[in-house]
Chains A and B, each alone.
Chain A
Amino acid sequence: MSTLLEMSGVSVSFDGFKAINNLSFQIGEPEMRAIIGPNGAGKTTFMDIITGKTRPDEGRVIFGEKSMSLLGMSESQIARAGVGRKFQKPTVFEAQTVRENFALALKNPRSPFDVLLHRKTPAGADRIEALAEQVGLSDQLPRMAGELSHGQKQWLEIGMLLAQDPRLLLVDEPAAGMTPAEREKTTDILVAAAQKHAVVVVEHDMEFVRRLNCKVTVLNEGSVLAEGSLDHVTNNPDVIDVYLGR
């Protein structure tokens, strides 16, 4: 396992409020990592920084073998470098079909010229069928994404994340609004992805985190409070104090 992403000394403040405070974080490839922490701990902001949505005030974010800095790169460059993201609130293209949503995400050249001359290939169609099968949307491919239920949109977004075939998957609260059976399926998909890639999962649900069976990082007030196995962190008095004790 080699280090894929390294964040060090990162801070961000919004109008004087320090959302991320001198945060350092590392993940290897392949690796699964769960991030837990109370609301407002900075978990989503942490993902915003990696994906280029938010620029940190200080610190470094290094990605890949060539140790490229993600800080000078645009959102789309970071995505092309191999960082994929599932948002906390499902965001799919509601006015397009499920198939079109998958096709948009599918790993293919991204320049306007390539897209203009893009031809549908049987391989691409097969890949979409396989992804739809994997997330249980096989029957929904011709439907408008806007007609899907909330849970199905979550699945579609997970499918789109897999379609991009990223090296680093950032998954923000995937289990929200899912049934226990769906949660189990989600963990299976994420664990499978973590066989080859780096996966960071933000989740509140402890059962879900336990099933991921991985190292856990606890965030609080924008910095790391504890790190280790789930049992290790849940027995940490500081963690019990700020998070579990409530």
Chain B
Amino acid sequence: MTKALSKTFLIRHPSTLWVLASLGLFTLIVSVLSEAAGTGLISTSFVKTLGKTLCLCLIAIAMDVVWGYCGILSLGHFAFFGIGGYAIGMWLMYARTEAIVAQNLSANLIPPTDSEISDAIATQIFGVVGASEFPAIWAFSHSLTLQLLMVLLVPGLLALVFGWLAFRSRVTGVYLSILTQAMTLALALYLFQNDSGLRGNNGLSGLQNIPGFEATSQAVISLAFFWASALALALGYLLFAWVTAGKMGSVIRAIRDDEARVRFLGYQVESYKLFVFTLTAVVSGIAGALYYPQAGIINPAEIAPIASIYLAVWVAIGGRGKLYGAIIGAVFVSLLSSYFTGGSAPDINLGFYVIKWTDWWLVLLGLSFVAVTLLFPGGIASLFDKLARKQ
């Protein structure tokens, strides 16, 4: 029954089928060429880059649903991404430090008490910010299950409360965008403080070391996270394709185009916006929880307001209102951005001036954003559509 259902769904939505097939093929190729498979044509660090890019694709499709489909230009979704990263990072840091502490103390003749162990872990983790006690928000950090729950609940609840306040007062358009920027800025500023309980600007580090898998090589761990990211992207894509396909898709696109008219048809616009805002926030949190173990470190700068603006730029360049457009934008712009800012792009010497890409990349990105918005409102994805229609 479900199988037949999903089959017809995929047949009626060929682009979803294409995306999932490409993703599967891509995963296969990367796996075969990775160091874990022995060939090593793709380095472990590049596997991590690709895995992280898949997570960025996941948050990009979430952004596309909330903005491209529902018309809410949220410039705060990276806050949810960061929260997901912090939530999983707390467990990773706690569990790993606990293992190290247990090993160090095992040399003692008298077995250490629980509070001695706890103090030793706290000193290790919070020494950098001059503290030696666990802040209250670390209460669940010993439990993977509870922290995974936090990955879903904290972004979800924050989005629910924020969205309820904003949508209920009918804040829309640019005012809502500014409000979401304020939210992400406030969160970043809070995290920057040393007494935030999350190690201030040091952030959480060593996240690439997975407790319980100390003996496993990074080559294998990176591939496992790559697979997990690919799976999450596939499931996220299916979820959003389903949400945006049927009548729900019709209602949220109608809200985007004329929300007042939708109200006069009897739909409570605020609940729809809240649903979309919260669902996409939760998915963003999941994307962040998969991203940061591959990045190895998370700090408050990741949540800076500019990150969420980049997200909107990816979606605009890739093509709003099409899920695959968001993926194209995220892949294209984020890989290009790491090329230009990574120092591997050759400087251009004009004789009187040397263009350093590390400085000028942002200008180029800004200009492309303006150009796409003005000249190709459909983004890169609209080029694909033109090709498909010509055939």
Which of A's residues lie within 8 Å of B, judged by CB? 51, 53, 74-77, 79-80, 84-85, 87, 91, 93-96, 100, 103-105, 110-112, 115-116, 118, 160, 164
Cross-interface CB contact of A85 among B257, B258, B264, B272, cutoff 8 Å: B264
Q: Are B247 and A79 in contact (CB under 8 A)?
A: no
Cross-interface CB contact of A103 among B243, B250, B264, cutoff 8 Å: B250
In the complex, the chain A residue whose C-beta lies closest to that of B269 is: A76
Interface string of B54-93 (1 = CB under 8 A from A): 0000000000000000000000000000000000000000
Closest 5 CB pairs of A and B: A79-B266, A75-B263, A80-B266, A118-B247, A76-B268
Is the C-beta of B13 less than 8 angstroms from some C-beta in chain A? Answer: no
Which B240-266 residues have a C-beta within 8 angstroms of A? Answer: 243, 246-248, 250-251, 253-254, 257-258, 260-266
Q: Are B246 and A118 in contact (CB under 8 A)?
A: yes
Min Cβ gap B249→A in Å is 9
Bound CA–CA A180/B246 (angstroms): 39
Cross-interface CB contact of A95 among B253, B263, B265, cutoff 8 Å: B253
Q: Are B261 and A91 in contact (CB under 8 A)?
A: yes
In the complex, the chain A residue whose C-beta lies closest to that of B242 is: A116
Cross-interface CB contact of A93 among B243, B246, B254, B267, cutoff 8 Å: B254
Q: Are B261 and A93 in contact (CB under 8 A)?
A: yes
Min Cβ gap B50→A in Å is 33
Bound CA–CA A112/B271 (angstroms): 7
| Residues of the A chain whose Cβ atoms lie less than 8 Å from the Cβ of B140 | none
| Residues of the B chain whose Cβ atoms lie less than 8 Å from the Cβ of A110 | 266-268
Is the C-beta of B190 less than 8 angstroms from some C-beta in chain A? Answer: no
Min Cβ gap B4→A in Å is 14
Bound CA–CA A201/B161 (angstroms): 42
Min Cβ gap B183→A in Å is 23
| Residues of the B chain whose Cβ atoms lie less than 8 Å from the Cβ of A93 | 253-254, 257-258, 261
Min Cβ gap A125→B in Å is 13
| Residues of the A chain whose Cβ atoms lie less than 8 Å from the Cβ of B263 | 74-76, 79
Q: Are A111 and B268 in contact (CB under 8 A)?
A: yes
Min Cβ gap B310→A in Å is 27
Q: Are B248 and A116 in contact (CB under 8 A)?
A: yes
Q: Are A76 and B261 in contact (CB under 8 A)?
A: no
Bound CA–CA A94/B256 (angstroms): 12
Bound CA–CA A100/B262 (angstroms): 13
Q: Are A116 and B264 in contact (CB under 8 A)?
A: no
| Residues of the A chain whose Cβ atoms lie less than 8 Å from the Cβ of B268 | 74, 76-77, 110-111
Is the C-beta of B361 less than 8 angstroms from some C-beta in chain A? Answer: no
Among B243, B266, B272, find the residue whose CB has the most chain A CB atoms closer than 10 A: B266
| 22 contacts across the A-B interface (CB closer than 8 A) | A74-B268, A75-B264, A76-B266, A76-B269, A77-B268, A79-B265, A87-B261, A91-B258, A93-B253, A93-B257, A93-B261, A95-B257, A96-B250, A100-B250, A104-B247, A104-B262, A104-B265, A110-B268, A111-B271, A115-B248, A115-B272, A116-B243
Is the C-beta of B275 less than 8 angstroms from some C-beta in chain A? Answer: yes
Cross-interface CB contact of B251 among A75, A94, A115, cutoff 8 Å: A115
Among B248, B250, B253, find the residue whose CB has the most chain A CB atoms closer than 10 A: B250
Q: Are A112 and B266 in contact (CB under 8 A)?
A: no
Bound CA–CA A115/B257 (angstroms): 18
Among A74, A94, A96, A112, find the residue whose CB has the most chain B CB atoms closer than 10 A: A112
| Residues of the A chain whose Cβ atoms lie less than 8 Å from the Cβ of B258 | 91, 93
Bound CA–CA A181/B298 (angstroms): 69
| Residues of the B chain whose Cβ atoms lie less than 8 Å from the Cβ of A91 | 258, 261
Bound CA–CA A76/B267 (angstroms): 5
Among B246, B250, B264, find the residue whose CB has the most chain A CB atoms closer than 10 A: B264
Q: Are A94 and B257 in contact (CB under 8 A)?
A: yes
Q: Are A104 and B250 in contact (CB under 8 A)?
A: yes
Bound CA–CA A80/B243 (angstroms): 24
| Residues of the A chain whose Cβ atoms lie less than 8 Å from the Cβ of B272 | 112, 115
Bound CA–CA A87/B263 (angstroms): 13
Bound CA–CA A164/B266 (angstroms): 9
Min Cβ gap A214→B in Å is 24
Min Cβ gap A124→B in Å is 10
| Residues of the B chain whose Cβ atoms lie less than 8 Å from the Cβ of A164 | 265-266
9 additional contacts, CB 8 Å, given A75-B263, A93-B253, A104-B265?
A53-B260, A74-B263, A76-B264, A79-B266, A91-B258, A91-B261, A93-B258, A96-B250, A112-B248
Min Cβ gap A240→B in Å is 36
Min Cβ gap B130→A in Å is 48
| Residues of the A chain whose Cβ atoms lie less than 8 Å from the Cβ of B251 | 104, 115
| Residues of the B chain whose Cβ atoms lie less than 8 Å from the Cβ of A51 | 264
| Residues of the B chain whose Cβ atoms lie less than 8 Å from the Cβ of A118 | 246-248
In the complex, the chain A residue whose C-beta lies closest to that of B247 is: A118
Bound CA–CA A87/B264 (angstroms): 10
Interface string of B123-150 (1 = CB under 8 A from A): 0000000000000000000000000000
Bound CA–CA A163/B257 (angstroms): 21
Bound CA–CA A79/B269 (angstroms): 13
Which B255-296 residues have a C-beta within 8 angstroms of A? Answer: 257-258, 260-269, 271-272, 275
| Residues of the A chain whose Cβ atoms lie less than 8 Å from the Cβ of B264 | 51, 53, 75-76, 79, 84-85
Cross-interface CB contact of B254 among A80, A96, A111, cutoff 8 Å: A96
Bound CA–CA A115/B249 (angstroms): 9
Bound CA–CA A85/B262 (angstroms): 12
| Residues of the A chain whose Cβ atoms lie less than 8 Å from the Cβ of B267 | 76, 110, 115
Bound CA–CA A162/B245 (angstroms): 25
| Residues of the B chain whose Cβ atoms lie less than 8 Å from the Cβ of A112 | 248, 271-272, 275
